[in-house]
Amino acid sequence: MPSMIKQISLILPILAVLGHAQSTTVNIRLVGDPLVFRVENSSVIQRINNPNFERILRVFMVRPDGKPGSEPIAGDYSIERNQLIFKPRFKLQPGVTYRAAFKLADEVANYETTVPKPTYVATTYVERIYPSAAVLPENQLKFYIHFSAPMSKGEAVKRIHLIEEDGVEVKLPFLEIDGELWDRQQQRLTILFDPGRIKTGVTPNQEVSLALKAGRRYTLVVDEEWKDAKEVPLKGPFKKQFSVGPADRSPIDPMSWQLDPPKAGTQQSLFVRLLESLEAALLQKFIDVGDEKVQLVRGKATIDEDERVWLFRPDQPWVAGKHSLEILKTLEDLAGNKIGRAFEVDRVEQPAATGPDDSLTYSLPFTVPAQ
């Protein structure tokens, strides 16, 4: 009798351990960053050599009709601390439901979850659009859109709209360019009107005419759904309203500019009235100030009054004497006209100039008077 009691006492702990193992339920959880699927409490997988993970655990994307996709999503498997880990090869999509199924021997577990959409606070916005003038020429060439933070690429075509005064959207007004025209910071986007619709006598102009028509009003709209580089939509939409005047087909003439020279010994700004709006990005880069020896005068240039005024403040006080504006001839107005050459020109009847006057810069002299 005592021997039987002793045997029973030895068996009871074993039964307790087996009962505990049987009561443990295999479960699947979605954890970590990046998100991975983790199978926990499996008592079998740790005892198997070289298990076929692809058959043991499968993860499917659930379709809108509630059925799983035909093929499991791709990923990598690993064993960590006796737990099976499945790491999706591609980032799980917010708002999408996934279903995981585990089966090994008599162990079965199923798990379904929807990846939550991240909460965000929209902070990026359109700072400005150039040109800032309220009246643009019928043959306007481009717009610059400035954002407060880096933006995502590939969205411009569907996020920028040109709306006529009657509410109708202009079809295909802008030139579609692969890769888009961003600055290095991805904060300034250049959008071009289709040149074929601007130049007279070419097929696109004859078939669909100009995107802008003199005498009409338009609104340039930037959608708030456009996402920045952090995949967060804009803080709000942006609208630029403007009217359209006659086409401008005249070259830029710096001789018509009005200069108000500062006094020597001061750091007053040189004031230059341009008489017409010029292209903002080029205007801030394509004009320098030279001294009597045509040495660069260092300072800061700014633009004002709808890009009709150019201001230059020197780093050091002005020195009395002769100075000059050194202007690159590739400076453009809103219609793409340059110094001495219109955007639309017959290169056969009016060939490019050659000889001594064929320089890259135009020099406009002025004098800084003594006090």
- Residue 289 buriedness (CB in 10 A; 0-12 / 13-18 / 19+): buried
Can you read off the two tokens belonging to residue 9? 């006492």
Domain membership flag for residue 166: yes
Long-range contacts of 90-95 (CB under 8 A, 24+ apart): 91/34, 91/35, 92/34, 92/35, 94/118
CATH, residue 217: 2.60.40.1220
Do 240 and 133 lie in one domain? The reply is: yes
| Residues 192, 140: Cα–Cα separation, whole Å | 9
Do 363 and 265 lie in one domain? The reply is: yes
Q: How far is CA 271 from the centre of its chain?
A: 34
pLDDT at position 8, please? Answer: 37
Domain membership flag for residue 121: no
Ranges of the chain whose pLDDT falls below 70: 1-24, 197-208, 345-358
> Domain tally for the chain?
3
Domain membership flag for residue 343: yes
pLDDT at position 200, please? Answer: 58
Do 87 and 39 lie in one domain? The reply is: yes
pLDDT at position 120, please? Answer: 84
Query: Which residue shows structure tokens 């086409």?
Result: 247
DSSP state letters, 49-82: SS--HHHHEEEEEBPTTSPBPSSPPPEEEEEETT
| Residues 64, 60: Cα–Cα separation, whole Å | 13
Contact 61, 98 (CB under 8 A): yes
Do 271 and 293 lie in one domain? The reply is: yes
Contact 183, 215 (CB under 8 A): no
DSSP for residue 255:
G
Parallel, antiparallel, or unpaired for β 238-245 and 135-137? parallel
Domain stop point among 198, 213, 245: 245
Do 173 and 215 lie in one domain? The reply is: yes
Can you read off the two tokens belonging to residue 193? 């009107």
- Contacts of residue 174, defined as CB under 8 A and 6 or more positions apart, other chains included, come to 157, 160, 162, 191, 192, 193, 194, 211
pLDDT at position 296, please? Answer: 95
Residue type, 303: I
Domain membership flag for residue 1: no
What b/e readout covers 305-341, taking b as 16+ CB neighbours within 10 angstroms? ebbbbbbbebeeebeeeebbbbbebebbbbbbbbbeb
Residue type, 354: T
> Is this structure's pTM higher than 0.85?
no
| Residues 199, 344: Cα–Cα separation, whole Å | 6
pLDDT at position 9, please? Answer: 42
Domain membership flag for residue 25: yes
DSSP for residue 17:
H
Structural domain for 207, as ranges? 126-245
CATH, residue 86: 2.60.40
Do 235 and 258 lie in one domain? The reply is: no
Cα 301 to Cα 113, 306, 317, 365, distances in angstroms: 57, 15, 15, 17
- Contacts of residue 10, defined as CB under 8 A and 6 or more positions apart, other chains included, come to none
How far apart are the two ends of the chain, measured CA to CA in Å?
A: 126
**Which runs of consecutive H residues, i.e. helices, occur in 209-355?**
280-283
Domain membership flag for residue 170: yes
Give the strands of the sheet with 361-368, arranged side by side.
Answer: 287-290, 321-328, 361-368
Domain stop point among 114, 136, 161: 114
Domain stop point among 63, 86, 114: 114
Domain membership flag for residue 4: no
